Structure 1
Amino acid sequence: MAAACSARFIPSASLLARHGPTSPSSGLAGAADHHGPPRINIWEDPMSPSKWKEEHFVLASLSGWGLLIYGGFKVFGGKNDKKDEVIPAAAS
């Protein structure tokens, strides 16, 4: 009985020939294939954005745009905190 159950779960040679290996292939996983110069971290050469890794370039660009927008808001359209002082009337 146990032999019959285990034989059911072992793939036959004809099944492997039709469907290929049981483990997925990594045909599109080409992360090790570098095209062009290797990318470096932003802190290793901060004055050369063309050499930075893509995610570091994105973070630096978003930070720069955020600072530009925040600075423009503060200079040109920020909320004014002018408070009107009330002078108390002199008691006579």
Structure 2
Amino acid sequence: MAMATTARSAARLLRMKAPSSVQRSSRTFASDAHEHGPKRVPLWEDPMHPGRWKEEHFVFVSLAGWGVLIYGGYKLFAGGSKEKNDTAPAKSSASTPAHH
């Protein structure tokens, strides 16, 4: 019985020391809190240095590059564009008789 009473009083003491729901600290995103390493810039500000790009810009460029590579490989190995042969003879105006 003494153990239960001690546990209840300890829980009550912890509740009183816990911050109320009214007092909340403001939180920010982890990436905004502290700057570590070199500053990241958009792709168009420094296009020759991919290591300095923002992560999402690097992902977009990488995906676009892979798309071009795969599409180019498909076109290369699939035979490129197929030209249709026009088998119907073309009518020329010299072969038709002129009526005067």
Q: In terms of mean alpha carbon deviation, does 32-41 or 18-27 score higher?
A: 18-27
Q: Name the amino acid aligned to 1:81.
A: K
1:50 equivalent in alignment to 2:58: no
- Unmatched 5+ residue regions in structure 1? 1-13
Q: Name the amino acid aligned to 2:54.
A: K
The Cα of 1:35 is off from its aligned counterpart by 0.5
What is the alpha-carbon distance in structure 2 between the residues aligned to residue 79 and residue 50 of structure 1? 35
**Cross-structure match for 1:20:** 19
**Cross-structure match for 2:96:** none
**Cross-structure match for 1:60:** 61
**Equivalent position SS for 1:43:** helix
- Alignment RMSD (CA, Å): 3.0
Give runs of aligned pairs for residues 1-92 of structure 1, distance below 5 A: 17-22=16-21, 24-25=24-25, 29-30=29-30, 31-78=32-79, 81-83=82-84, 85-86=86-87
TM-score, normalization by structure 2:
0.57
TM-score, normalization by structure 1:
0.61
**Equivalent position SS for 1:81:** coil
Give the fraction of aligned pairs with identical amino acids, expressed as a percent: 48
What is the alpha-carbon distance in structure 1 between the residues aligned to residue 79 and residue 60 of structure 2? 25
What is the alpha-carbon distance in structure 2 between the residues aligned to residue 20 and residue 38 of structure 1? 36
Looking at CA atoms only, which structure, 1 or 2, has the larger radius of gyration? 2
